[in-house]
A and B are shown apart, each in its own frame.
Chain A
């Protein structure tokens, strides 16, 4: 107990953050080289909210939540920064004994694949009972009673019989319910769901989301969702954090992210959704691959994949610009000197939908003038805010020029680049 580092709560927010991440840097050693998985990430998680973390694979969303539970792989470590929770700095924890107090009891996790999360050799009921016995001082009989009640709670019919069954006798959806029952067994404060529905069918997915919503309001849980499916986010989240290359590039309420996205990566992610696809028109794919995190990332990490990147995006990492008190984005586009860029068509349609809802008074109004959040000295005013690609295209690259021309003709960005590169798409993906 004495080695637990008590840190005074130093949060400076108006709401009530239950977990506060500050400037977190996580590094992994891999084959003698060092990979920076999280690059100075800050995030507040508020009590009782449903926060969704979205991003491509490799963006660090799972790494982030694993640090909350001390579940980093053995070659990973927290380099700097802090994770404040209930007066403790989780970033300073080094021993299992410290973690045991937090893990499961206070912060619990639901993993992606319900097929591998359960022990196939033990009954489902036994596994829930184990979780209960580990975290609270109750008798075995009492634990069994509670476990059956939990099974019933997560919507498993005939709980008494199901309690004695093995995981292989459960369907995928039922297994995920059982996993959720284990995670919820000790009424944790924070429930982390790592892609909880990716392995499930759509109809089952809808049921599991409904279940999580119900549990959340019943027990007042704080839920952190990790997902790459923005459709799921729209249904479940209050707030959304968009991650790219180990950093949060945009953070806002669910409606702000969908109806007023500001970061080009959020645009790209929204536009790439197949739901926006129309038969006969190419989808807006994101060209290229995420940056190599072994190397230092310079400027805006998304710039190399952004056909509309500004010159400054390659020079300096953008600060957070505040769009509203609850909405901020790390992009130079929000700088007053930046040019007005038109987002891709699907995003424009979302914005229109948002504006319509606003007219119908279905969204609370807010100030629309973006304000500078952090003052930071920007390099070379004016000039560097010109469109980098356009400049380059004019100067040297007929390929990019062609891409730009096709873009103007209204093709999807990815497609324009692909065609212009004439099949030599390798380096772009």
Chain B
């Protein structure tokens, strides 16, 4: 396939962080149903996450961004392509040992802190539940120490370990969710809409926490969200997904300064502007998929400038190049 060859070459130049790739996806597809009812939730998605980076995955509801996150943690089987994590393939059949290792190394933070914590368990148990499953013979004192450390890391007081989730506010509960994944010392965290359910002020607290964890401990994170303004504050690079396909991927500043794909431009134009004068003059660009004519000229995922990828056919790519 042409796009595959082009992709393979392009990737070499992208390894600017010394090729320190944590996770790479190659032509990943996830589909549900079969025959006539086949639905491709994720279609031919390829990207890399470097160690120590926060990669934002932006898309509207139904774009397949959550499915992609779930595919990486192996909650959804993939139907095409491969996922490589720390130089080993993690899609398809795995040995039991490798699977257990992955459970520890790839952790997930869920969207709704009100729904994702076990209401009947104490915080102490919730945070160390994963640890108990992975390290069966962990001494109690050591376990306590790890829980305490994880709680301190996310800014919760260790005294809270004996409380129940309902005694905490939304922001604190989300911190419990983060502590629960940090305690596993993961190499990669998938944060699926981790701040969408939070209030503005609390949201800022959690975003700051993730940023400081990234800076201090080199946290690697796939940050899935629909809100581009949140992404701007936290991500190093942003990938935009639509209908299961990546349409654009670039460094955050570059994507905001120079969006190429019409869908990205439409998304960016719809972000609310916190300035009443500019908001008055704001025009939301409509996105009409009919603007692409892919009947003869097949679209490819190509690197249009170093580190900036976009999906389009040769004619469109020529137009995008002029826009740079």
Q: In the complex, A12→B92 CA distance in Å?
A: 73
Contact (Cβ within 8 A) A286 B271:
no
Which size bracket describes the interface of A in this complex? 35 or more
Tell me the minimal C-beta distance from B237 to chain A in angstroms: 11
Residues of A within 8 A of B201 (CB): 56, 268-269, 272, 285-286
- Knowing A279-B236, A424-B157, the reply to whether A202 touches B203 (Cβ < 8 A) is no
B162 on the interface (CB 8 Å rule)? no
Q: In the complex, A270→B276 CA distance in Å?
A: 13
Q: In the complex, A258→B205 CA distance in Å?
A: 22
Contact (Cβ within 8 A) A255 B208:
no
Contact (Cβ within 8 A) B274 A275:
yes
Residues of A within 8 A of B155 (CB): 418, 423, 425-426, 429
A128 on the interface (CB 8 Å rule)? no
Q: Which of B6-14, B23-31, B35-43, B224-232 contacts A (4 or more CB under 8 A)?
A: B224-232
Q: In the complex, A172→B60 CA distance in Å?
A: 11
B46 on the interface (CB 8 Å rule)? no
Contact (Cβ within 8 A) A415 B208:
yes
Of the candidates B156, B170, B204, B279, which one forms a contact with A234 in the assembled complex, judged by CB atoms under 8 Å apart?
A: B279
Tell me the minimal C-beta distance from B71 to chain A in angstroms: 22
Q: In the complex, A207→B283 CA distance in Å?
A: 11
Residue of A nearest to B171 (CB): A429
Tell me the minimal C-beta distance from A74 to chain B in angstroms: 22
Contact (Cβ within 8 A) B226 A258:
no
- Knowing A57-B199, A282-B211, the reply to whether A202 touches B274 (Cβ < 8 A) is no
Residues of A within 8 A of B138 (CB): none
Residue of B nearest to A346 (CB): B274
A363 on the interface (CB 8 Å rule)? yes
Residues of A within 8 A of B157 (CB): 424-427
B252 on the interface (CB 8 Å rule)? yes
A232 on the interface (CB 8 Å rule)? yes
Contact (Cβ within 8 A) A274 B229:
yes
Contact (Cβ within 8 A) B272 A289:
no
Residues of A within 8 A of B211 (CB): 282
Q: In the complex, A205→B272 CA distance in Å?
A: 9
Q: In the complex, A275→B268 CA distance in Å?
A: 12
A254 on the interface (CB 8 Å rule)? yes
A73 on the interface (CB 8 Å rule)? no
* CB under 8 Å from chain B, chain A span 211-239: 228-232, 234-235, 237
Q: In the complex, A224→B315 CA distance in Å?
A: 48
Contact (Cβ within 8 A) A272 B200:
yes
Interface 1/0 per residue, A21-43 and B, CB below 8 Å: 00000000000000000000000
Q: In the complex, A181→B171 CA distance in Å?
A: 35
A4 on the interface (CB 8 Å rule)? no
Residues of A within 8 A of B287 (CB): 203
Contact (Cβ within 8 A) B204 A414:
yes
Contact (Cβ within 8 A) B232 A274:
yes
Residues of B within 8 A of A273 (CB): 200, 229, 274
Tell me the minimal C-beta distance from B25 to chain A in angstroms: 24
Tell me the minimal C-beta distance from B200 to chain A in angstroms: 5
Residues of B within 8 A of A286 (CB): 201, 204-205
Tell me the minimal C-beta distance from A216 to chain B in angstroms: 15
B125 on the interface (CB 8 Å rule)? no
Contact (Cβ within 8 A) B169 A254:
no
Contact (Cβ within 8 A) B253 A202:
no
B282 on the interface (CB 8 Å rule)? yes
- Knowing A203-B267, A235-B272, the reply to whether A284 touches B204 (Cβ < 8 A) is yes
B212 on the interface (CB 8 Å rule)? yes
* CB under 8 Å from chain B, chain A span 364-398: none
Q: In the complex, A278→B159 CA distance in Å?
A: 34
B82 on the interface (CB 8 Å rule)? no
Residue of B nearest to A275 (CB): B229
Contact (Cβ within 8 A) A274 B212:
no
Tell me the minimal C-beta distance from A366 to chain B in angstroms: 15
B152 on the interface (CB 8 Å rule)? yes
Q: In the complex, A96→B284 CA distance in Å?
A: 43
Tell me the minimal C-beta distance from A172 to chain B in angstroms: 7
Q: In the complex, A286→B209 CA distance in Å?
A: 13
A410 on the interface (CB 8 Å rule)? no
B300 on the interface (CB 8 Å rule)? no
Contact (Cβ within 8 A) A277 B233:
yes
Residues of B within 8 A of A156 (CB): none
B290 on the interface (CB 8 Å rule)? no
Residue of B nearest to A257 (CB): B276
Q: In the complex, A258→B275 CA distance in Å?
A: 7
Residues of A within 8 A of B270 (CB): 202-203, 205-206
Q: In the complex, A272→B276 CA distance in Å?
A: 17
Tell me the minimal C-beta distance from B63 to chain A in angstroms: 9
Residues of B within 8 A of A243 (CB): none
Q: In the complex, A237→B252 CA distance in Å?
A: 30
Contact (Cβ within 8 A) B229 A231:
yes
Of the candidates A203, A230, A272, A426, which one forms a contact with B284 in the assembled complex, judged by CB atoms under 8 Å apart?
A: A203
Q: Which 3 A-B pairs have the closest CB atoms?
A: A231-B272, A277-B233, A426-B157
Knowing that A202-B226, A234-B276, A278-B233 are A-B contacts, what are 20 other residue pairs whose CB atoms are under 8 Å apart, sorted by A's residue number?
A203-B267, A203-B284, A230-B200, A231-B229, A232-B272, A234-B273, A275-B271, A276-B274, A277-B229, A284-B204, A289-B169, A357-B277, A414-B204, A414-B205, A423-B152, A425-B156, A426-B156, A426-B160, A429-B171, A429-B205
23 contacts between A and B (CB under 8 A): A172-B61, A202-B226, A204-B60, A228-B200, A229-B272, A230-B200, A231-B273, A234-B274, A258-B276, A269-B201, A270-B274, A272-B201, A273-B200, A273-B274, A274-B203, A276-B274, A277-B229, A277-B233, A283-B204, A283-B233, A414-B205, A426-B155, A429-B202
